[in-house]
Amino acid sequence: MRAGENDDLSKPSQTITADEEGRRLDIFVAQRLPGISRTRIGRLIREGGILVNGETTKPSYWVELGDRIELHLPPPPGEQVLPEPIEFGIIYEDDSFAVIDKPAGLIVHCTETMVSGTLVNGLLYRMKSLSTVGGPMRRGIVHRLDRDTSGVMVIAKTDEAHIDLMKKFERRKIKKQYVALVHGTAFGERKEIDLPVTRSPHNRKLMTARSGEGRPSFTVVEPLERFDAVTLVKVSPATGRTHQIRVHLSAVGHPVVADKQYGGRSMQRRPTFGMKRQALHAARLGFEHPSTGEWVEFEAPLPEDMQAALAALRHGSA
């Protein structure tokens, strides 16, 4: 089959024909198998679990148009992902997809060491059908929000919708808008941040923005409301790198309020306005409906903790 066709990409053995070129093999496969980490994919490539044109190669191999990529995936871990009554809001639902409001503190999907208490467990409990493209630990998951970021997410209910939405994210056809409370007030009407994002050399769990290093990343920031020491901003990321918004805002000197990872050394001395987690909320998501092609937009209301922080700021009691 050709990459991107409506087949179950989580099958243990299959062959896909590359319909694009100019990407590393590990990245090419990772984008089509979101249920498996890039590290694990690299190991499978080196061990012969992923072949190109019948031969073993390296993760850094550059895919060429027409390459036949054979996937021989190991069986999933023995742990079973079970339905659980997890709290989250449902904004919209039809036969193709659902749109949900993820609360802060909720991890999106299971891992090999965590198979309980995630959004996926809650989705299995509340929805009759979910896509299987990402494998059993990421049923329905097309994209992610950080654990302590709240807001709107789209969930695929069919494999066809999952692949369609995944392509839209890859091709930047998804409109994403966030709201954040950030330190500092030095904003004009619009600020464009064009800095590559890459893994931190000091902590592989974190990201960093370095000129000339990493993947191209672009974020637009617009002020919504100014206070004495902080600003409420609308953030529109054109790309979707890990921690991109938080990394970009920190890099230009305006870290998100209460961001423990990217707030910098002075974070502990800065006010948090009652926030126990980073003041970042995915407010709006827009895209063409996978089945009808109609443009649709969905909005998640500002959560109570951010509303309380803003109320305190407006009344001068923060």
Active site residues: 146
Q: How far apart are CA 270 and CA 192, in angstroms?
A: 25
Phi, psi (rounded to 5 degrees) for 169:
-65, -45
- Residue 29 has which token pair? 């496969």
Q: How far apart are CA 46 and CA 268, in angstroms?
A: 44
* Core vs surface per residue 268-307: b (16+ CB within 10 A) or e: eebebbbbebbbbbbbbbebeebeeeeebebbbebbebbe
Q: How far apart are CA 155 and CA 139, in angstroms?
A: 9
Q: Tell me the three state secondary structure of residue 111.
A: coil
- Residue 297 has which token pair? 């937009």
